[in-house]
Structure 1
Amino acid sequence: MNANNLLTRMNEQYASMSKNQKKLAAYITDNYEQAVFFTAAKMGEVVGVSESTVVRFAMSLGYKGYPQFQKSLEEMVRLKLEKTQKMNITTTRTSKKDVLQKVLASDCDNIKRTLEGLNQSTFDQAVSSILNAEHIYVVGVRACAPLAQFLYFYLQMIFKNVHLVTSSNVTEMFEQMVHLTNKDVVIGISFPRYSMRTLKAMEFANNKSAGVITLTDSVHSPMNLYSSCNLIAKSEMASIVDSMTAPMSVINALIVALTMFRKDEVVKNVEFLEDIWEQYQIYENDEIDHIDDAFKNKYKHIGELK
């Protein structure tokens, strides 16, 4: 059983795991570089469960025992080291004056491969699901948080009921999604290393029968376990960071497509915002001017915009 299977199995079985097993799965996903050195007893001590629980957890995932489970952890670390070695080789062969050219060329290649691999019908399905949703939830944490915030910012200009789910733990994320129904849609964004928080939010949405759209890097991503609408964007880069250029381009395409379907609403909202920016000198200067009555009367009933 390889490392990818380990992550996949943990996520597939998460819903049926006991409370202590879920604690182990969450810890291992986020800290496998440390976990690989632990004995079963040490793992239990760190996570706060018994040694026997750790052993049973390994066996429940299909391993003969903890030693075989630990080998899969070693494989996960090895794959990460290979990426680091690749990064070292690339930086060694690349002179500082070539960095700009090579990084932008790599980003262009990611966009090209994303365009070649992204299914148009899947993209159209995502657009349709968002247009028909009563509420739209956007989830993205850690390195994906800026992508989620960008998407949320522009969705607010198109739709009324948009929610950005942010938190440092899964429990608080669930609290922000407590009113989720089968008429809503959740957009989850996650790239390696995949966030357990985002994965659990997607599982929660799936269990609530909400529409689930994922933006991730591969058909093999564990994010796809909870979604039938998977937008795949390439993010490879031999560096300490992954490239988010292609994912951002897919988000831009989504926003433009949605805007085309809601043109009248967007125009009204943008005109309203432009008036606000002008009256409050948001983009001009810091001088204080009187806000005239014409502006107040024009927008006294904000509901007219929707």
Structure 2
Amino acid sequence: MKISDFQMQFEQASVQAPPAVQRALVWLAQHTPEIAWQRVDAIARHAGVSPASVVRAVQRAGFEGFVDLQAQIRALDPVIPPAWQTVATTPDVTTSVLAQEIANLTELEPTLRAQIDVITDWLLSRQHLIVTASLMTASLAEHVALNFRYLLGGVDFVDAASSQAWMLLRDLHDEDGVVGISYPRYSTRTSAFLGQCAKRTPHILWITDLGGPSIPAELVLRLPSTSQSHYSSTVALMALIQVLAHELAEREPQRIRRNIEAADAVWRILHEP
């Protein structure tokens, strides 16, 4: 087997896996060469799960246990350049930042491949969507909501800390969906609001980064956000929007076209002389 074969095995096993196991499988797929020299507890810490979840993830992927998996990967003798070495040899800041963003997108790919169909189906099945966040993440969530509204219609953004959030909660139905985004800063207001939403609808999509908190949700998407600066990268979230736009248009082209044409008609009215 090659490293890519292991990664494919982890990706396939992550589909409809329990949240903690899925999170471990995503980490294993994104960091497969590192398994050769990492301990179970270290992997669990990186993935934000328990060591038991890592073991269950390994077994779900078809291996007898972690020792068996590690032995197979060690046999391939993978070479893992230290992160500091990559940065140290970078000639300038621009190159360093772009290299890191490319690395984030590379990490994102197996996650999206494993979950994009499920997320697309989930979005298309919702009668109404609320996208919520708070603090520094609010502007990012509003951008996500605007794109979803442009394509799907029936999408609202609300700051989880606002009074409007609780009014929208009042009108939430069991077939509606709520997308909660909490990174690069983790907001307890967002988690609390989603907890209340979960009492009215089971359809919660939780988007955070690899180190983000765990909350009960129907779907969980963890995005890579590594950065060389003080501010976490949000490139993966922007890429997610682009991928979803293509997936939605392929899945229901007439609906998407109708919504875009309606938006364009309003745009023309607003810009008439």
Equivalent in 128, 151, 170 of residue 144 of structure 2: 151
Matches within 5 A, 1:68-107: 98-107=92-101
- CA change 1:264–1:237 in 2 (3 A) is same
- More deviation in 188-197 or 237-246? 188-197
> Matched residue of 2:97: which SS?
helix
Cα deviation for residue 240 of structure 1 reads 1.6
Aligned residues: 189
> Matched residue of 2:228: which SS?
coil
Cα deviation for residue 237 of structure 1 reads 0.8
Cα deviation for residue 231 of structure 1 reads 1.2
> Matched residue of 1:158: which SS?
helix
Matched residue type, 1:221 = G
- CA change 1:181–1:262 in 2 (3 A) is same
Equivalent in 209, 212, 217 of residue 221 of structure 1: 212
Cα deviation code 1:9-66 (max 9, x no counterpart): xxxxxxxxxxxxxxxxxxxxxxxxxxxxxxxxxxxxxxxxxxxxxxxxxxxxxxxxxx
- CA change 1:263–1:238 in 2 (3 A) is same
List runs of 5+ in structure 2 lacking aligned partners.
Answer: 1-83
Matched residue type, 2:145 = Y
List runs of 5+ in structure 1 lacking aligned partners.
Answer: 1-88, 283-287, 289-306
| 1:281 counterpart = 2:271 | yes
> Which residue in 1 is equivalent to 2:231?
241
> Does structure 1 retain, via aligned residues, the 8 Å contact 2:132–2:179?
yes
Q: What is the alpha-carbon distance in structure 2 between the residues aligned to residue 271 and residue 145 of structure 1?
A: 27
**RMSD value, Cα:** 2.7
Cα deviation for residue 115 of structure 1 reads 1.3
Cα deviation code 1:202-251 (max 9, x no counterpart): 21122223301111112x632x3221311121001121211000122122
- CA change 1:174–1:281 in 2 (3 A) is closer
| 1:126 counterpart = 2:116 | no
Q: What is the alpha-carbon distance in structure 1 between the residues aligned to residue 166 and residue 245 of structure 2?
A: 26
> Does structure 2 retain, via aligned residues, the 8 Å contact 1:233–1:250?
no
Matches within 5 A, 1:39-188: 98-116=92-110, 118=111, 120-166=113-159, 169=161, 172-188=164-180
- TM-score normalized by the length of structure 1: 0.55
- TM-score normalized by the length of structure 2: 0.61
Cα deviation for residue 179 of structure 1 reads 1.3
Cα deviation for residue 259 of structure 1 reads 2.4
> Does structure 1 retain, via aligned residues, the 8 Å contact 2:151–2:260?
no
Q: Alignment identity in percent?
A: 23
